[in-house]
Amino acid sequence: QVYLSYSNIATLTHLAAKPGWEITSTLDDIKIWTHEEGDVLSLKVEMQVKIPSDLAFSLLSDFTRRQQWDKHYLTCEVLQAVHEDEKIYYVTSPSVSGHKPKDFVVLVSRRQPCKPSEPYIVAVKSVTLTSMPPSSEYCRSEILCAGFQIYSDSSSSCTVCYFNQVTSGVLPHLAANLTGSSKSIEDTALACIKFLE
């Protein structure tokens, strides 16, 4: 478990630090970047939020509140609280155009910064739990690497970066037409800012 949580945080930090991110869309408070490597497409959404970074961290790391702003989350329950900064959640998402709804078992690891210049981190990846095998009702899906980095800008504002790494097989419609889906990404980001503020 220690290794899993460490690799969860490390994978997200590594993804964030990769060179070659390309900006695809800019709104007032939201920037969307993409990074392609082989058949892996990564997404970065940068949001300017007018609340302190520690408050954004506490709101975003509680995944039971995720469906308040993210319509891709239908339900979210804690399966196992490993300890204060590590929880395993079971997530279901609504069915899209006649497909079976998806479900996920994810480990969410959160870390506070050691230095003021470092971000708060909330890292997410799929894990396997024998107590939660795939069911015929859902299509079990995998999150390779996702999560948030939250940088403090001032005592009352912060920059929230959301990352998600997908294989083109998981989200063919996203990989095929990123510009078309940037609208729904922007809508989710706007809902996230509204929820936080």
CATH number for 129: 3.30.530.20
Residues 50 and 193: their CA atoms lie apart, in Å, by 8
In this model, does residue 118 exceed pLDDT 70?
Answer: yes
Q: What is the pLDDT of residues 65-90, one digit of tens each?
A: 999 999 888 999 999 998 889 999 99
Query: Residue 97's pLDDT is what?
Result: 74
Three-state DSSP class for 195? helix
Q: What is the mean pLDDT of residues 32-55?
A: 92
Give the total number of structural domains in the chain: 1
Nearest CA to 94 out of 114, 67, 115, 118 is that of 67
Contacts 24+ apart (CB under 8 A), 3-9: 4/107, 4/127, 5/82, 5/85, 5/86, 5/107, 5/109, 8/107, 8/109, 8/123, 8/124, 8/125, 9/109, 9/111, 9/121, 9/123
- What is the DSSP-derived secondary structure letter of residue 63? G
Quote the percentage of the chain above a pLDDT of 90: 62
Give the predicted TM-score (pTM) of the model: 0.89
In this model, does residue 179 exceed pLDDT 60?
Answer: no
Contact 132, 105 (CB under 8 A): yes
Per the structure, the complete domain to which residue 42 belongs is given by: 1-196
In this model, does residue 39 exceed pLDDT 70?
Answer: yes
Query: Residue 41's pLDDT is what?
Result: 84
Q: What is the mean pLDDT of residues 22-28?
A: 85
Q: Which residues pair with 54 in a beta bridge?
A: none
DSSP string, 108-147: EEEE--SSTTSPEEEEEEE---TTS---TTSEE---SEEE
Residues 39 and 169: their CA atoms lie apart, in Å, by 8
Residues 63 and 172: their CA atoms lie apart, in Å, by 26
Q: What is the mean pLDDT of residues 30-56?
A: 92
Residues 154 and 38: their CA atoms lie apart, in Å, by 38
Residues 74 and 178: their CA atoms lie apart, in Å, by 23
Residues 145 and 123: their CA atoms lie apart, in Å, by 7
